[in-house]
Structure 1
Amino acid sequence: MENSVVQITARTPNPNLQIITNGNPSTGQSTRLGSGFVYGKQGHIITNSHVIDGASTADITFIDGNTYTAKVIGKDTSGDIAVLQIIDNFSPENLVPLTIANSSSLQVGQQVIAIGNPFGLSDTMTTGIVSQTGRLIPNPDTGFSIPGGIQTDAPINPGNSGGPLLNTQGQVIGINTAINSATGAFSGIGFAVPSNAIIRELATLTKTGTFNHPWLGIAGGKITPDLGQSAGLPRNYKGVVVGSVQAGSPAEKAGLQGVTQSDSTTTQHIGDIITGADGHPLRSIDDLINYIDLHKSIGDNVGLTVNRHGQIMNLNLVLQARPPSLGNQTAQESILP
């Protein structure tokens, strides 16, 4: 993977760090270390958006130690994908672009390889398997989840973010992006943004600098046994319980209803239960988010099958562009399409 995977060093102003030089105060800088990989021969580097968050340029260092400046030409904060382009003369480097594969063909148990710069240790390779696919990766920066995530047990640590997750043919199947850990160190569960998301966004990010996701506008969750029993639903009933509906959203315009509370009591009444989207059955909120984000676009129509207090109805809505963030919503509320 020489001249294919790079170390990325991004520096951003830190207003909490004040430096006094000759009696003159100035704002210090924070440094982020991450990884990235070469795409094409024009000096494009793909990485995570959070690696370069707040920076307009970054240093790109190859395995031979050569460093070049790259500018950020596109980023999708919500999907955690960014594209950089080297602006220095990089002709001394024999760039070796990586091939991006189709992540929809991944199988649980398939061997994978993670390459990156954990703790600044350049060009480190670790191996593992695909533990599961279709995971929702929480994104606390926006409040929205990243759909279709690949779960892997290949060791991923700070500094690996933005590096490629490869199949055994050396093709990119994802971007290493997060770990599930209480300590910040790898604990056996890592996540990668699927390569199909890269394929979908790359041309738009490179051309316009941004990418807009389709938006439904609900907060929802699964049907627990207690909830199903209290609502009089059949055992093992599947669907998405609508908790709340965002103001001005496609869901509100279509008439979806969330949980309501009686004016005179504290009793809550269950909201709509979405059981299907465009004829596809939904088992959980994961199915709905993955379907909307990976298979639909802004302006598309979506037909929802809804159970409202035992009455089955069909609601049609038109998807809008997702807002930049959900404000101060918690990470748990990122299970919102």
Structure 2
Amino acid sequence: MKGVLRSQVVSVLVLTAVLVLTGCARAARQAQQPTVTEQSTATEIATAPSPTAAPAAPTVTIAAYDADKVVAAYETVLNRIYQTVLPSVVHIGIEQEVSQRQSPFGPQSQDPQPRRRGEGSGFVWDNRGHIVTNNHVIANADRVTVTFADNTVVEAMVLGADPDSDLAVVKVELPADSLRPVALGASHALKVGQLAVAIGNPFGQEFTMTSGIVSALGRTMSSPTRFANPDLIQTDAPLNPGNSGGPLLDRQGRVIGINTAILSDSGLSSGVGFAVPIRTAQQVVPALIRDGRYDYAWLGISGGSLPVEIAAAMDLPRDTRGTWVDDVVEDSPADKAGLRGNNRAVEIRGERAPVGGDVIVAIEGTPVREMDDLIAYMVRRTRPGDTVTLDVLRDGGERVQIEVTLGRRPEQRDIR
């Protein structure tokens, strides 16, 4: 369907805006300010008498401040972050063999096999040599090298990768006392407007720091597997190719996210970057170290947030919010539990639109107002084998509860 009727996909298909992997400005709207008269010792804001000659309000005096000291303090914070975190940030270089087309007349050349080279960023997770980066940085690499800020260069082995969260772990063999693990922040406690600092290797310019703010929270994008990657942090800290896998930091130098993608027509920073929250990494990374993979719970539906027109066509209140089930994957947990996809079509604004699918309005008592709510809950709070209760509105308004035993998310190639 077109317009509002286009579906997103949870656990099967997610339609998102065009996102450019970083391969690893900001226009601040000025609010109107009261007239301020600056004096040598204080700034006075006086309320003028009204036309009716009512008594003037008391003068409010704001203590003078030194603008230069404010800027100097900001610069000191940035430099402290850089100096503290720099030993924990690494440059990641990769090499990959590129196959040559075989000529019908025999080998084209006796030269060594050509190799593709790439680069990204990463950071020290612990003192056992585990380095966190993006999956797309090291995917299909035949050789991975890690360079530290002190020019130590060492080869690394890929331990595990998760394309869905775009996280990966590589391991280096170095003495524990030579490794400086990062401090981890609390991404779930972030607020829009907080300082956000990125350190990485954009365009090969090693150990570059850029800064901005947390622009938004709870963004969702699709992964290369087309499953959803929820709860992303949006930032206007400039991110460019080579920043992928590097840390996004708070003002105390703690990692709050892993830089992973930008939204851009040019492939360069446009002030809209995204980072995987550190809470996701804390969930996924230990499994990558231990098992080489992370298994997600799987429901087995495709759908999207419920459009108003679809709600009306199904005799539901127009203000009904929830995840609208467009289709149910055959033999999936959703199918076995009895969830229903669309089963009829109606005409909406001159177009034939499928309707009739269940609308999930809560999971385990937690309200589901849109598709992203369901995705985030599934990723954060469920594992394969868990049984959850879904509150569902059916075509015509009947409300039912359905228990579903969740499965393990299949590989993309296994979904039909």
Could you tell me which of 128, 134, 138 is aligned with 1:42? 128
Query: In the alignment, what sits opposite 2:336?
Result: 253
2:308 is aligned with 1:240: no
Q: Distance in 1 between matches of 2:183 and 2:280?
A: 14
Counterparts in 2 of 1:236 and 1:267: CA distance versus 1, 3 Å: closer
The residue type equivalent to 1:107 in the other structure is K
Counterpart contact for 2:127–2:177, Cα < 8 Å: no
Query: In the alignment, what sits opposite 2:282?
Result: 199
Query: In the alignment, what sits opposite 2:410?
Result: 323
Q: Distance in 2 between matches of 1:223 and 1:260?
A: 16
SS at match of 2:304: strand
Query: In the alignment, what sits opposite 1:179?
Result: 262
Query: In the alignment, what sits opposite 2:247?
Result: 164
Query: In the alignment, what sits opposite 1:300?
Result: 386
Q: Distance in 1 between matches of 2:108 and 2:176?
A: 40
Q: CA deviation at 1:267?
A: 6.6
Query: In the alignment, what sits opposite 2:184?
Result: 100
Task: Compare CA radii of gyration and give the structure with the larger one.
Answer: 2
Query: In the alignment, what sits opposite 2:148?
Result: 62
Q: CA deviation at 1:279?
A: 0.6
Alignment RMSD: 2.3
Counterparts in 2 of 1:115 and 1:136: CA distance versus 1, 3 Å: same
Counterparts in 2 of 1:16 and 1:194: CA distance versus 1, 3 Å: farther
Q: CA deviation at 1:68?
A: 0.8
Could you tell me which of 276, 289, 299 is aligned with 2:362? 276
Counterpart contact for 2:129–2:176, Cα < 8 Å: no
The residue type equivalent to 2:338 in the other structure is G
The residue type equivalent to 1:325 in the other structure is Q
Deviates more, 1:294-303 or 1:198-207: 198-207
Counterparts in 2 of 1:267 and 1:10: CA distance versus 1, 3 Å: closer
Q: Distance in 2 between matches of 1:123 and 1:221?
A: 40
SS at match of 1:3: helix
Could you tell me which of 162, 169, 187 is aligned with 1:76? 162
Q: Distance in 2 between matches of 1:245 and 1:11?
A: 41
Q: CA deviation at 1:202?
A: 2.1
Query: In the alignment, what sits opposite 2:301?
Result: 218
Which runs of 5 or more residues in structure 1 are unaligned?
Answer: 330-337
Q: Distance in 2 between matches of 1:122 and 1:148?
A: 28
Q: Distance in 1 between matches of 2:161 and 2:401?
A: 36
2:233 is aligned with 1:147: no
Query: In the alignment, what sits opposite 1:333?
Result: none
Counterpart contact for 1:17–1:27, Cα < 8 Å: no
Q: Distance in 2 between matches of 1:16 and 1:306?
A: 54
TM-score (norm 1): 0.89
SS at match of 1:256: coil
2:214 is aligned with 1:130: yes
Counterparts in 2 of 1:184 and 1:17: CA distance versus 1, 3 Å: farther
Counterparts in 2 of 1:267 and 1:75: CA distance versus 1, 3 Å: closer
Richer in strand (by share): 1
Q: CA deviation at 1:176?
A: 0.2
Q: Distance in 1 between matches of 2:390 and 2:410?
A: 22
Counterparts in 2 of 1:311 and 1:22: CA distance versus 1, 3 Å: closer
Q: 1:223-279: CA deviations, max 9, x gaps? A: 2222223223223211011011112211111111111247xxx77333111111011
Query: In the alignment, what sits opposite 2:196?
Result: 112
Counterpart contact for 1:143–1:326, Cα < 8 Å: no
Q: Distance in 1 between matches of 2:198 and 2:101?
A: 34
Q: CA deviation at 1:21?
A: 8.9
Counterpart contact for 1:173–1:194, Cα < 8 Å: yes
Q: Distance in 1 between matches of 2:252 and 2:331?
A: 46
- How many aligned residue pairs are there? 323
Q: Distance in 2 between matches of 1:267 and 1:65?
A: 60
Q: 1:1-26: CA deviations, max 9, x gaps? A: 23211111111222367899993376
Amino-acid identity (%)? 41
The residue type equivalent to 2:184 in the other structure is I
Q: 1:73-115: CA deviations, max 9, x gaps? A: 111121111111113xx45983221012221111111111111
2:372 is aligned with 1:286: yes
Counterparts in 2 of 1:25 and 1:46: CA distance versus 1, 3 Å: same
SS at match of 1:185: coil
Q: Distance in 2 between matches of 1:151 and 1:285?
A: 19
TM-score (norm 2): 0.73
Q: Distance in 1 between matches of 2:107 and 2:181?
A: 43
